[in-house]
Amino acid sequence: MPPEALLQLRHLSKDFATQRAVDDVSLEIPRGAFFSLLGPSGCGKTTILRMVAGFETPTSGEVWLNGQRIDAQPPYQRNVNTVFQSYALFPHLTVQGNVEFGLRHKKVSKETKHADINRVLEVLKQVRLEAKASRRPSELSGGERQRVALARAIVLQPDVLLLDEPLSALDPQLRKQVRGELRDLQRRVGVTFLFVTHDQEEALSMSDQIAVMNAGALGQVGTPREIYTAPRTRFVAEFLGAMNWIDGIGVRPEAVSICERANNPGRKAVVTGVTYLGSFCHIAMTLESGEAIAAQATPTSAFQPGQTICVTWNPEDEIRL
C-alpha cells in the first residue's frame, strides 16, 4: 500500500438482493485530502461510505486504513467517524456536552480526562463555537448545528471523517457560507475527509480530488479542474455542468462567444430563449444545422428570441470523447 494512501478500497462491490449497488470500485484516498464521492442519487456513493464506516459488509473486495485491512472489523474498532445529514445531536445536551459525548464513554485516567477537556475546548475554538458552548441545539442555527456535529466527530481524532451529504438540510445561501467554512476547517485540522454529495458545485469548490460515480461504478477520478476540463465520458462531462455537443465535440456554454452581427466569422444561429440568472444570462440558440447550442452572456445583454447572431469558440476549449 503506497504510504501516501491513507484509505484504500480494493475491488469493492456490494449487492442488495438482485441489485449491484457498488461495482468493483478501487480508490486510493491520500492522507489529509478532502476527497469527494460525487454522483446522482442511487449511484452507490453512500453505500461506499457505509462500508468504510462498517455499517455495511462488502459482498466482495477489501477496505484498508493505515495499512491495515478493516472490512471485517466492527464499526467501533475502526478509527473513522461519520457526520450524517441529520447531524444526530442530543437535544438535551449543550454544545459542549454533545462534543464531549464520545470522550465521556472512554475509560481514562484523571490526566487523560483533563487533556480531553482541553481538546474539547480547542475543537470548539476551531469551529468558532466556544461562545455558545452552554447552548442547546434548539438554540442554534442550522449552520451552527452542523459545526457541532463536525466538532463532535473531530474531537475523537479519527483517521478519516466520513460526511454523508452534511449540507443538504441547509438553505442555498447558508450552504454556500458553510461550504467555505467546512473547507477551511478541514485545512486547519488536517483530518482526511471523505465527502458524499450529489451537488457538483459543492464538490468542485471544496475537493482536492473527486470520484464521479454512475450506476455503482467509477466514471472518473481526478482534481476538480481535470474532471471539468477533460472529462473522459459523456456522463462525466454532462454531470459536471452544462455541455453543448456539436459535430462530435463538446463545448461548455461559458466557452461560447456571441456576436450580434450575424455576418461576422463563425457559425450563424438563431436565439430561441433568454433566461436571466442574476450574474449572467443563459442564451439558448439553434445553429443552421439544427443543433441546439447554449452560451452565457452578461446580465445586461439585449439578445432577443428570433434574433440571428454568430457564435464562435476557441479550439482549445473543445472536449473530444
Residue 35, C-alpha cell as written in the block: 476527497
Instruction: Cite the beta strand spans of the chain per DSSP E.
Output: 5-16, 19-30, 34-38, 60-65, 68-69, 80-83, 160-164, 192-197, 209-214, 217-222, 244-246, 249-251, 257-259, 267-276, 281-287, 292-297, 308-312
Spatial distance between the Cα atoms of 25 and 12, rounded to a whole number of angstroms: 5
Q: What's the one-letter identity of residue 43?
A: C
In the three-class reduction of DSSP (H, G, I as helix; E, B as strand; rest coil), residue 147 is classed as helix
For helices 142-154 and 110-126, what crossing angle results, to 10°?
Answer: 140
Strand 244-246 to strand 80-83: parallel, antiparallel, or no bridges (unpaired)?
Answer: unpaired
> Hey, where are the domains in the chain?
5-235, 245-317
In the three-class reduction of DSSP (H, G, I as helix; E, B as strand; rest coil), residue 298 is classed as coil
CATH of domain 5-235: 3.40.50.300
Q: Vertex 156, ends 154 and 158: CA angle to 5°? A: 70
Q: What is the C-alpha radius of gyration for the chain, rounded to an integer number of angstroms?
A: 24
Q: State the Cα torsion 239-38-142-83 to the nearest 10°.
A: 170
**Helix, strand, coil distribution of the chain in percent, nearest 5:** 30, 30, 35
In sequence order, what are the beta bridge partners of 34? 193
Say if 5-235 and 245-317 have the same CATH topology: no
CATH of domain 245-317: 2.40.50.140
Q: pLDDT tens per residue, the chain (321 residues)?
A: 444 789 999 999 999 988 999 999 999 999 999 999 999 989 999 999 999 999 999 999 999 999 999 999 999 889 998 888 777 788 898 888 888 887 776 554 445 555 677 788 888 888 888 888 888 888 888 778 888 888 888 888 889 999 988 887 777 777 887 788 888 888 888 889 999 999 999 999 999 999 999 999 999 999 999 999 999 999 999 999 899 999 889 999 999 999 877 667 788 999 999 999 988 999 999 999 899 999 999 988 889 999 999 999 999 999 988
Which 8-state DSSP code applies to residue 305?
Answer: T
